[in-house]
Chain A
Amino acid sequence: MNDLIKSNNLPTLSKALVFICCLLLVIVLFVPLWQIQLDAPQYPEGLILRMYPHKLAGDVEIINGLNHYIGMKELFTKDFIEFTVLPYIIGFYAFFCLLVSFMKRRGWLLGLFIAFAGFGVIAMVDFYRWEYAYGHNLNPNAAIQVPGMSYQPPLIGFKQLLNFGAYSIPDVGGILFVLVGVLLLVALLIAYKKRKK
Chain B
Amino acid sequence: MIIPAVVLSSALLIGASGCKPKNAGDATGSDAAAKVYVPPGKYDEFYNFVSGGFSGQVSVYGVPSGRLLRVIPVFSVDPEKGWGFSEETKPMLNTSHGSVPWDDQHHLALSQTDGVIDGRWIFANANNTPRVARIDLTTFRTAEILEIPNTAGNHSSPFITENSEYVITGTRFSVPMDYEPGDVPIESYKKNFKGTVSFISVAPESGEMNVAFQLLLPGMNFDLSHTGKGPSSGWFFFSCYNSEQAHTLLEVNASKRDKDYILAVNWKKAEEYFKAGKGTKRPAKYAHNVYNDETHTATSTMNTEVTVMDVKDFPDIVYMIPCPKSPHGCDVDPTGEYIVGSGKLAALIPVFSFSKIQKAIADKDFDGDYEGIPVIKYEAALHGEVAKPGLGPLHTEFDDKGNAYTTFFISSEVVKWNVKNLNIIDRIPTYYSPGHLSIPGGDTKKPYGKYLIAYNKITKDRYLPTGPELSQSAQLIDISGEKMKLLADYPSIGEPHYAQSLPADLIKEKSVKIFKLDDNKHPYATKGEKESKVVRDGNKVHVYATMVRSHFSPDNIEGIKEGDEVYFHVTNLEQDWDVPHGFAIKGAINAELLVMPGETSTFKWIAAKPGIYPFYCTDFCSALHQEMSGYIRVSAKGSNVPIAFSLGKNSDPDAAAGTPTP
Contact = CB atoms under 8 A, between A and B. Distances in A.
Interface of A: 37, 39-42, 44-45, 141-147, 156-158, 162-163, 165, 167, 169-170, 175, 178, 181-182, 185-186, 189
Given A42-B433, A45-B460, A170 B13 contact: yes
Given A41-B412, A157-B19, A163-B412, A145 B432 contact: no
B394 to A, nearest CB: 14
Nearest to A187: B2
Nearest to B252: A141
Interface string B478-493: 0000000000000000
6 contacts: A41-B433, A45-B460, A142-B252, A156-B16, A178-B9, A185-B2
Given A41-B412, A162-B391, A185-B5, A169 B17 contact: yes
A189 B432 CA distance: 55
A144 B413 CA distance: 18
A145 B252 CA distance: 11
A186 B23 CA distance: 39
Contact of B411 (A37, A39, A41, A144): A41
B392 to A, nearest CB: 8
Contacts of A170: 13
Contacts of A181: 9
Contacts of A144: 255, 345
Contacts of A156: 16
Contact of A143 (B5, B252, B460): B252
B251 interface: yes
Contacts of A165: 20-21
Interface in B1-32: 1-2, 5-6, 9, 13, 16-17, 19-21, 23
Nearest to A158: B19
Contacts of B255: 143-145
Nearest to B430: A41
B503 to A, nearest CB: 33
Interface string B325-357: 000000000000000000001010000000000
Nearest to B249: A141
B412 A189 contact: no
A42 B407 CA distance: 14
A145 B345 CA distance: 8
Interface pairs A-B: 4 shortest CB-CB: A41-B412, A42-B432, A143-B255, A158-B19
Interface in B24-79: none
A141 B432 CA distance: 27
A143 B343 CA distance: 12
Interface in B97-132: none
Contact of B461 (A41, A45, A147, A157): A45
A44 B411 contact: no
A41 B429 contact: yes
A163 B16 CA distance: 21
Contact of B256 (A39, A41, A141, A163): A141
A175 B413 contact: no
Contacts of B347: 146-147
B284 interface: no
A124 to B, nearest CB: 12
B410 interface: yes
A175 B13 CA distance: 8
Contact of B345 (A40, A143, A189): A143
Given A157-B16, A178-B13, A186 B413 contact: no
B458 interface: yes
Does more than half of chain A's interface fall in helix, strand or loop, or is it mixed? mixed
Given A41-B411, A42-B412, A144-B345, A186 B461 contact: no
Nearest to A190: B2
A166 to B, nearest CB: 10
B434 to A, nearest CB: 10
A157 B18 CA distance: 9
Contacts of B1: 189
Given A169-B16, A169-B17, A186 B2 contact: yes
A196 to B, nearest CB: 12
B450 to A, nearest CB: 26
B13 A162 contact: no
Given A144-B345, A157-B19, A186-B6, A41 B432 contact: yes
Nearest to B251: A143
A167 B20 contact: yes
A158 B20 contact: yes
Nearest to B1: A189
A40 B433 CA distance: 11
Contacts of A186: 2, 5-6
A15 to B, nearest CB: 17
Contacts of B251: 143
Given A162-B410, A178-B13, A182-B6, 6 more contacts: A41-B413, A44-B432, A45-B461, A142-B252, A156-B16, A165-B21
Given A141-B252, A141-B256, A157-B19, A44 B460 contact: yes
A42 B2 CA distance: 46
Contact of A182 (B9, B16, B413, B432): B9
A78 to B, nearest CB: 25
Given A41-B411, A143-B251, A158 B21 contact: yes
A32 B16 CA distance: 18
B345 A163 contact: no
Most buried by B among A37, A45, A185: A185
Nearest to A181: B9
A134 B73 CA distance: 51
A117 B431 CA distance: 46
Nearest to B24: A41
A142 B252 CA distance: 6
A163 B460 contact: no
Contacts of B411: 41, 162-163
Interface in B251-265: 251-252, 255-256
Contacts of B431: 41, 44
A147 B411 CA distance: 18
Interface in B442-476: 458, 460-461
A59 B190 CA distance: 41
A186 B3 CA distance: 9
A151 to B, nearest CB: 13
B19 A182 contact: no
Nearest to B256: A141
Contacts of A37: 20
Interface centre among A41, A146, A157, A186 (most CB of B within 10 A): A41
A31 B383 CA distance: 57
Nearest to A44: B461
Contacts of B2: 185-186, 189
A181 B431 CA distance: 45
A93 B411 CA distance: 45
A52 B16 CA distance: 20
